[in-house]
Structure 1
Amino acid sequence: MNKTQTQHFQRLYQKHVDALYRQGKADTTIDVYSRAVRRITAFFDRCPDTLTADNLKTYFSSLVKTHSWSTVKTDRNGLQFFYHHTLNKQWPWVDIIKPPQRKTLPVILTQLEIQRIINQTQELRYQVFILTTYSMGLRLGETLNLTVADIDSQRMKAHVRLGKGKKDRLVTLPQKTLSALR
């Protein structure tokens, strides 16, 4: 890209990032959506507002061969956001790329397997961490962010703050977990 094109891209890119912030997107979402715009710009060495549907098909065909489906989906979503909120254009090419639908069951450990993991763990703090995470159905980050003030032993609830989607929620606190936390 020449200097004028680069300046034009930088203005659009900043407009894109500003729109992401205005929408209240998480920092990680802003990062991956912005990366998608930078990646397609580098791929064609031109500003994304000049790309055609055939260009997008070419790009996504290449992306599928070199990146994970997760990356392909986030690039698609990031570019769709760019077109809609930055360029004020419709994104008529959503069907250009459609990741395969996989329906797999999650791996769920049995109580015996969890008990073995806890018993093999040497330090008490790690045993309590594993028990708390598993028994309350928490994500790792949610368990790490728990504080004493979040535990309500009267109602047998724990307040999970800023979980997935930056949402708070109350979860049941099993008696065994409460005993271990004490």
Structure 2
Amino acid sequence: MTNEAMSPLRRRMIEDMTVRKFVEKTQKDYIRHVKDLAAFLGRSPDTATAEDLRRYQLHLSDTGVRPPSINSAVSALRFFFSITIDRAAVTKPLTFVAEPRKIPVVLSPEEVARFLEAAPGPKYKAALSAAYGAGLRVSEVVALKVSDVDSKRMLLRIEQGKGRKDRCAMLSPASASLPCCTAGARP
């Protein structure tokens, strides 16, 4: 985060997030949400009341902000008020918004085959196959190394995935048979 003309309040919030090892994207999102609250109020966010926060969340909802973004704002504001300025009671009216879970679109085997055939080379085919077969996120696929593939045990080691957590994912038989996923191969 840059240091140009930073208020003591913002600096304090960034320090609080840094101590808790928040990733830079989360820090930027939290700062943005607090800035948006300040713009809504027309004054410093640390002066907000519980009623101000209730009106702000209602404003977000009324202006068509999607539930995940509202929930991100709720998390940011709860952090700001409870940790940075030690006024947790003000956040009592803030509530997370439930969003109905949607069933993801699942490709047919034929569609998956066409998708993989369109890959420009074995490296891309392996990445796409692993991503689809193991349900990996794009950032997890990009960070994969050949040493993360255990084709004997049919596992992929995912380091520092979402939430900076390590995990293992199942390697599909189709992915394991690709030349770049065999021992000693270099895509």
TM range (shorter): 0.7 to 0.9
Alignment of 1:23-102 (within 5 A): 23-66=20-63, 67-102=65-100
Give the letter aligned to residue 40 of structure 2.
Answer: F
Q: Per-residue CA shift, 1:73-104, capped at 9, x if unaligned? A: 21111111011101112235444444243132
Please, which runs of 5 or more residues in structure 2 have no aligned partner? 181-187
Give the letter aligned to residue 30 of structure 2.
Answer: Y
Instruction: Determine if contact 2:50/2:93 at 8 Å carries over to the other structure.
Output: no
Of all paired residues, the percent bearing the same amino acid is 27
Residues 138-147 or 124-133, more deviating = 124-133
Alignment of 1:1-182 (within 5 A): 10-66=7-63, 67-119=65-117, 121=118, 123-125=120-122, 126-182=124-180
Q: Alignment partner of 2:101: what SS?
A: coil
Q: Structure 1 residues 28, 181: CA separation in 2 closer, same or farther (over 3 Å shift)?
A: farther
- Aligned residue-pair number: 174
Instruction: Determine if contact 2:77/2:91 at 8 Å carries over to the other structure.
Output: no
How far is 1:34 from its partner?
Answer: 1.0
Inter-partner Cα distance in structure 2 for 1:60 and 1:82: 15
Q: Structure 1 residues 93, 166: CA separation in 2 closer, same or farther (over 3 Å shift)?
A: closer
Give the letter aligned to residue 24 of structure 1.
Answer: K
Q: Alignment partner of 1:35: what SS?
A: helix
Could you list the runs of 4 or more consecutive aligned residues of structure 1 that deviate by over 3 angstroms after TM superposition?
A: 91-98
Please, which runs of 5 or more residues in structure 1 have no aligned partner? 1-6
Inter-partner Cα distance in structure 2 for 1:99 and 1:149: 41
Instruction: Determine if contact 1:161/1:167 at 8 Å carries over to the other structure.
Output: yes
Q: Structure 1 residues 96, 147: CA separation in 2 closer, same or farther (over 3 Å shift)?
A: closer
Inter-partner Cα distance in structure 2 for 1:92 and 1:180: 56
Instruction: Determine if contact 1:80/1:91 at 8 Å carries over to the other structure.
Output: no
Structure 2 partner of 1:3: none
How far is 1:116 from its partner?
Answer: 2.7
Inter-partner Cα distance in structure 2 for 1:43 and 1:24: 29
Inter-partner Cα distance in structure 2 for 1:91 and 1:116: 55
Inter-partner Cα distance in structure 2 for 1:167 and 1:181: 28
Give the letter aligned to residue 12 of structure 1.
Answer: L
